[in-house]
């Protein structure tokens, strides 16, 4: 089948060049054009990585008939407008999470999706696409954990200096919501909502700083206590606090604890072999299987998130061709943003804050 023409909008972000190797393993897409308002940076980046038709005005890219899908890597505050413009031009949209800098922006993306129901709009919450995830989801849905009552998600990364290094200093501004809970924590907020099928109704949040440069407005560490609509709770931590000597410069973990068992996973950020601990005392589980470690080997792919990125992008192409919802919907985007918004309101008020209802 003919590949989908791909347009890239925005280069002052870490991910465009990190994604670049993925396209070689995705025949579903053909990158054809790139847009970035910073003309000098556009030329340098395009000459080094992309070698595509280049524009300083993304509207010119949207005018191209051979662009079917755009992927957006602008500063967070600009994303909702670019999504709206792309949808109005008839393009399917992948917008980098968290997709906006405030709740109003999340609502605007959801509204664009409602105005253009034929188009697919999604965000790369790639942990849903990890090869371990189906094992956890199957355990939850089969009742092996019983009723999930407590959860934890950690996503701690290297210091904020990497945003200077990678030409996206806007990430250090509060106005862009570049803080780790908004930028990284939404991964596990999305994952836990989706995994349990439950809504988060309130958030209690705290932030702190660690030493070192660069000058920045954002916090370095965000910790959130989430309460779900069935009384379950979750702790989510996201930070830019890991020193350079930390293995892989990532501390990533997720766990779900239920009335009958646990699922505990420390993703293999630097490898392809993952180990998932599954504990279940469900009546139908034989004693020998009540505590087991499942080893899952994923195929290695160069590029951002490896096989997770490949799986997410392949699913999005299939959603277009099959005319079905993508893995992550605009409602999922808005759902995660609602929780992140309540987190920052809690930080400001010093008390638990309700999540805006649907």
Portion of the chain with pLDDT greater than 70, in percent? 100
Q: Which residues contact 89 (CB under 8 A, 6 or more apart)?
A: 62, 63
Among 299, 314, 226, which residue's Cα sits nearest to residue 23?
314
Query: Which run of H or E residues covers position 40?
Result: helix 39-45
Query: Which run of H or E residues covers position 156?
Result: strand 148-158
The CATH number assigned to the domain holding 78 equals 3.40.50.720
- In a domain, residue 261? The reply is yes
The CATH number assigned to the domain holding 162 equals 3.30.360.10
Could you please report the per-residue DSSP string of 264-280? Answer: EE---TTSSEEEEEEEE
Residue 358 is predicted with a pLDDT of 82
The pLDDT tens digits of the residues spanning 52-68 come to: 999 999 999 999 999 99
The pLDDT tens digits of the residues spanning 66-112 come to: 999 999 999 999 999 999 999 999 999 999 999 999 999 999 999 99
Residue 136, exposed/middle/buried by CB under 10 A (0-12, 13-18, 19+)? Answer: buried
pTM recorded for the entire structure:
0.97
- In a domain, residue 110? The reply is yes
Q: Phi first, then psi: give them for residue 310, nearest 5 degrees.
A: -60, -50
Portion of the chain with pLDDT greater than 90, in percent? 96
If one counts the domains in the chain, the total is 2
Q: Rounded to an integer, what distance in angstroms lies between the CA atom of residue 170 and that of residue 14?
A: 12
Question: For residue 1, is pLDDT > 90?
Answer: no
Tokens 């400001």 locate to 348
Domain holding 138, by residue range, is: 128-300+336-354
61 shares its domain with 149: no
The pLDDT tens digits of the residues spanning 279-334 come to: 999 999 999 999 999 999 999 999 999 999 999 999 999 999 999 999 999 999 99
Residue 104 is predicted with a pLDDT of 98
């Amino acid at each position: 089948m003919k590949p989908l023409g791909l347009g890239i909008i925005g280069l002052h972000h870490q991910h465009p060049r990190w994604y670049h190797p993925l396209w070689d393993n995705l025949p579903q897409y053909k990158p054809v054009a790139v847009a970035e308002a910073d003309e000098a940076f556009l030329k340098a980046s395009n000459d080094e990585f992309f070698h595509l038709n280049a524009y300083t005005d993304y509207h010119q890219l949207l005018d191209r008939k051979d662009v079917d899908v755009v992927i957006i890597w602008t500063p967070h505050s600009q994303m909702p407008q670019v999504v709206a413009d792309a949808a109005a031009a008839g393009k399917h949209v992948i917008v980098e999470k968290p997709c906006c800098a405030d709740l109003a922006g999340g609502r605007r993306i959801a509204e664009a999706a409602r105005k253009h129901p034929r188009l697919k709009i999604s965000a790369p919450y790639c942990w849903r696409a990890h090869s371990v995830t189906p094992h956890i989801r199957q355990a939850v849905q089969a009742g092996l954990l019983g009723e999930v009552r407590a959860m934890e998600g950690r996503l701690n990364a290297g210091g904020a200096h990497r945003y200077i290094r990678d030409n996206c200093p806007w990430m250090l501004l509060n106005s862009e919501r570049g803080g780790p809970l908004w930028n990284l924590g939404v991964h596990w907020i999305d994952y836990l909502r989706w995994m349990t099928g439950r809504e988060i109704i309130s958030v209690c949040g705290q932030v702190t700083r660690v030493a070192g440069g660069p000058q920045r407005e954002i916090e370095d560490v965000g910790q959130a206590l989430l309460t779900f609509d069935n009384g379950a709770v979750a702790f989510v931590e996201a930070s830019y606090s890991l020193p350079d000597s930390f293995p892989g410069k990532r501390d990533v973990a997720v766990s779900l604890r239920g009335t009958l068992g646990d699922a505990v996973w420390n993703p293999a950020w630097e490898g392809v072999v993952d180990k998932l601990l599954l504990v279940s005392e469900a009546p139908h589980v034989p004693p020998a299987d009540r505590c087991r470690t499942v080893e899952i080997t994923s195929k290695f792919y160069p590029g951002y998130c490896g096989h997770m990125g490949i799986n997410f992008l392949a699913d999005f192409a299939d959603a277009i061709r099959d005319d079905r919802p993508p893995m992550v919907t605009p409602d999922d985007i808005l759902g995660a943003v609602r929780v992140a918004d309540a987190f920052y309101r809690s930080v400001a008020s010093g008390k638990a804050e309700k999540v805006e209802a649907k």
